[in-house]
Amino acid sequence: MTTAAPIDVRLHAARLSYRGAVIFDDLDLELPAGRTTCLLGPSGVGKTSLLRLIAGLAENHGGKDGKDSGSPGAAVDRDGRTVQGRVAYMAQQDLLLPWASVLGNVLLGPRLRGEDRDPEVDGKARSLIEQVGLKGRETDLPVRLSGGMRQRVALARTLVEDRPIVLMDEPFSALDAITRFALQELAARLLAERTVLLVTHDPLEALRLGHRIIVMAGSPARLETALDVDEDVDGDAGGPAKLPPPPRDPGHAGVLARQADLLKRLARARQKLVDLA
Partner 1 sequence: MSVLRGLAIFLGLVAAWQALVTLTGVDDFILPGPLAVAKALAAHWDLLAENAGVTILEILLGLALGTLLGVSSALLIAAFRPARDWLLPVLVVSQAVPVFALAPILVLWLGYGLASKVAMATLIIYFPVTAAFYDGLKRTEPGWLDLARTMGGGRLAVLRVIRIPAALPALASGLRVATAVAPIGAVVGEWVGSSAGLGYLMLQANARLQIDLMFAALFVLAVFAVLLYFAVDRSLRLALPWLAEET
**What residues line the site for partner 1 (CB under 8 A)?**
52, 55-57, 85, 87-89, 91, 93, 95, 97-100, 108-109, 111-114, 141, 143-144, 161
Whether the bond into 203 is cis, omega within 30 of 0: no
Rounded to a whole number of angstroms, the minimum distance from the CB of residue 167 to partner 1 is 8
Rounded to a whole number of angstroms, the minimum distance from the CB of residue 208 to partner 1 is 25
Of residues 120 and 275, the one with the C-beta less far from partner 1: 120
Rounded to a whole number of angstroms, the minimum distance from the CB of residue 230 to partner 1 is 28
Of residues 91 and 266, the one with the C-beta less far from partner 1: 91
Of residues 93 and 271, the one with the C-beta less far from partner 1: 93
| Helical packing angle, 147-160 and 119-131, nearest 10° | 140
Of residues 115 and 249, the one with the C-beta less far from partner 1: 115
Of residues 109 and 164, the one with the C-beta less far from partner 1: 109
Of residues 100 and 229, the one with the C-beta less far from partner 1: 100
Rounded to a whole number of angstroms, the minimum distance from the CB of residue 158 to partner 1 is 9
Rounded to a whole number of angstroms, the minimum distance from the CB of residue 67 to partner 1 is 18
Rounded to a whole number of angstroms, the minimum distance from the CB of residue 277 to partner 1 is 26
